[in-house]
Amino acid sequence: MNYHAWFAAQDNPNERYPLTDVVYYSASGGLLEVAHDTTALHQRSAEEWKQLFESRWMRTSWPYGSGVWGKKEWVCPVVSDENVVSMFEGGTNLFWAERLGQELGVPDFWIKMCGNSHTGSFKDLGMTVLVSVVKQMIADGKPIRAIACASTGDTSAALAAYGAAAGIPTIVFLPKGKVSVAQLVQPIAHGSLVLSLDTDFDGCMRVVREVTANPDSGIYLANSLNSLRIEGQKTVGIEIVQQFDWQVPDWIIIPGGNLGNISALGKGLLLLHDLGLINRLPRLVCAQAEHANPLYRAYLTGFRHFEPMQARPTAASAIQIGDPVSINRAVSTLQRFNGIVEQASEQELAEAAAWADRTGAYACPHTGVALAAAIKLIQRGEIQKNERVVVISTAHGLKFSRFKVDYHEHSLREVVSEHANPPVELPAEVDAVRRVIEERMKN
């Protein structure tokens, strides 16, 4: 069976472009979507798709052991196997947060650990697809000199790693002083040209869009307005359902900044539903930091009004975005899924992350935003005690060690650290040690 996919204009499905064309916008200036030949996909039954995906799951047959490329027919069938650039992304732990769930009063509580990936974030899922398509383009003779992105940290790390693996030069635009050291050093280590601009993410995004606007530049755009990224990231929803033995959770909660994440999540779930692998959809929640919450503000108006904002500094730096490029996609997704948008203050996100840490997780600040949203919805009774809840953790906590240190040293801005646990400094005397142990064990 031959499977096909192409770029289609959102406002005119008849306007089509090959996935290997250097094109980002429709004739009217809107974003493009990757469309699939669903007639061909329907030639396999739902059970046959399940069996095929299960037979590939975490195996070593190239490239199908990848959580993304194991679903190649649904993602990007136009790339030949030899041009796939993969680091065995996906297949991340769906962690039953048993103790945290019990404390929240929702025992069926799970955290999808997307940070347990090659570069430590959810972004690997999309970057494997985009870089693979670029490698295919180069093999086909397209004059691509480099791939570029604006980033708050994780996108640049993923692009740099996959570009390095493919031998394709990469350029990353970072907002000066607004990414963690761990995030900054990743593209440096992978040999990217790192441009630290004295602006915020939205400013970096404006510059990279202009630099890549001319197809003759030979510099290909890797941000999530390029829907190749969405195709890889959509596998997270498919993967969650597969890990639950093809059962659908009641709620999936994901942090949102540039809003490609929520769009991708919905797209994968809708494809599962369309092809008959599931018979219902979960409710989706997009969680935003209060300091960068344009989608939340639009949600309060019933999505009748959206206004970009100047995002303020937040510990959740990867979602410190005031003018998200995927706003229309996100709104459409949330409406389709009876979705909710919630926000988290700096206090709420820090305490949610700390609470999760004390039950065995190690949550990045963005996961803290999603956890805080979950806590609010549980406390309001919108999430019921008997429902299955999945929070998507988009990055590994180790990439944000400064956030953890500052929390426990009581130095996070706008945060009173209720669960701070600094080390106890003592003389090297047994009696002093015993006294502290006895005091702490009483608590």
- Find out whether 349 and 88 touch, Cβ atoms under 8 Å: no
Query: Cα–Cα distances in Å, from 11 out to 14, 25, 328, 335, 395?
Result: 9, 11, 12, 18, 33
Q: What is the rounded distance in angstroms from the CA atom of residue 436 to the CA atom of residue 186?
A: 40
Query: Tokens 């472009």 correspond to what residue?
Result: 17
441 — pLDDT class (breaks 50, 70, 90): confident
pLDDT tens by residue, 8-64: 998 888 899 999 999 998 998 888 999 999 999 999 999 999 999 999 999 999 999
Residue 402, pLDDT above cutoff 70: yes
Ordered by start, the domain boundaries in the chain are: 94-120+230-408
- What is the pLDDT averaged over residues 122-141? 97
- Find out whether 263 and 402 touch, Cβ atoms under 8 Å: no
- Find out whether 155 and 149 touch, Cβ atoms under 8 Å: yes
CA neighbours closer than 13 Å in the CB half-sphere of residue 35: 17
Torsion of CA 355, 361, 362, 363, to 10 degrees: -60
Which three-class secondary structure state does DSSP give residue 294? helix
Report the pLDDT value the prediction gives residue 314, as an integer from 0 to 100: 95
184 — pLDDT class (breaks 50, 70, 90): confident
- According to DSSP, the residues that pair with 34 across neighbouring strands are 7
- Find out whether 187 and 156 touch, Cβ atoms under 8 Å: yes
Report the pLDDT value the prediction gives residue 396, as an integer from 0 to 100: 95
Report the pLDDT value the prediction gives residue 442, as an integer from 0 to 100: 79
- Find out whether 353 and 97 touch, Cβ atoms under 8 Å: no
298 — pLDDT class (breaks 50, 70, 90): very high
Instruction: For the domain made up of 94-120+230-408, give the CATH fold.
Output: Rossmann fold (3.40.50)
Tokens of 275: 């092809």
Report the pLDDT value the prediction gives residue 405, as an integer from 0 to 100: 95
443 — pLDDT class (breaks 50, 70, 90): low
The model carries a pTM of 0.94
Q: What is the rounded distance in angstroms from the CA atom of residue 200 to the CA atom of residue 176?
A: 8
Tokens of 442: 């009483």
pLDDT tens by residue, 334-386: 999 999 999 999 999 999 999 999 999 999 999 999 999 999 999 999 999 99
DSSP codes of every residue in 155-179: HHHHHHHHHHHHT--EEEEEETT-S
- According to DSSP, the residues that pair with 113 across neighbouring strands are 393
Mean residue pLDDT across the chain: 95
- Find out whether 85 and 128 touch, Cβ atoms under 8 Å: yes
Amino acid (1-letter code) at residue 38: T
Report the pLDDT value the prediction gives residue 397, as an integer from 0 to 100: 95
Tokens of 251: 């709620």
Residue 123, pLDDT above cutoff 90: yes
Tokens of 4: 């096909």
Query: Tokens 């194991």 correspond to what residue?
Result: 70
Report the pLDDT value the prediction gives residue 238, as an integer from 0 to 100: 98
pLDDT tens by residue, 224-281: 789 999 999 999 999 999 999 999 999 999 999 989 999 999 999 999 999 999 999 9
Q: Strands 251-255, 193-197: parallel, antiparallel or unpaired by DSSP?
A: unpaired
- What is the pLDDT averaged over residues 320-341? 94
DSSP one-letter code for 425:
P
168: which residues sit within 8 A by CB, 6+ positions away? 131, 134, 135, 138, 144, 146, 147
118 — pLDDT class (breaks 50, 70, 90): very high
In which order are the strands placed within the sheet that holds 146-150?
A: 193-197, 170-175, 146-150, 219-221
Q: What is the rounded distance in angstroms from the CA atom of residue 420 to the CA atom of residue 403?
A: 12
369: which residues sit within 8 A by CB, 6+ positions away? 255, 287, 288, 289, 316, 319, 344, 349, 352
- What is the pLDDT averaged over residues 208-219? 90
Query: Cα–Cα distances in Å, from 231 out to 77, 112, 238, 422?
Result: 11, 18, 11, 43
Q: What is the rounded distance in angstroms from the CA atom of residue 276 to the CA atom of residue 46?
A: 5
* Preceding omega of 427 cis (within 30 degrees of 0): no
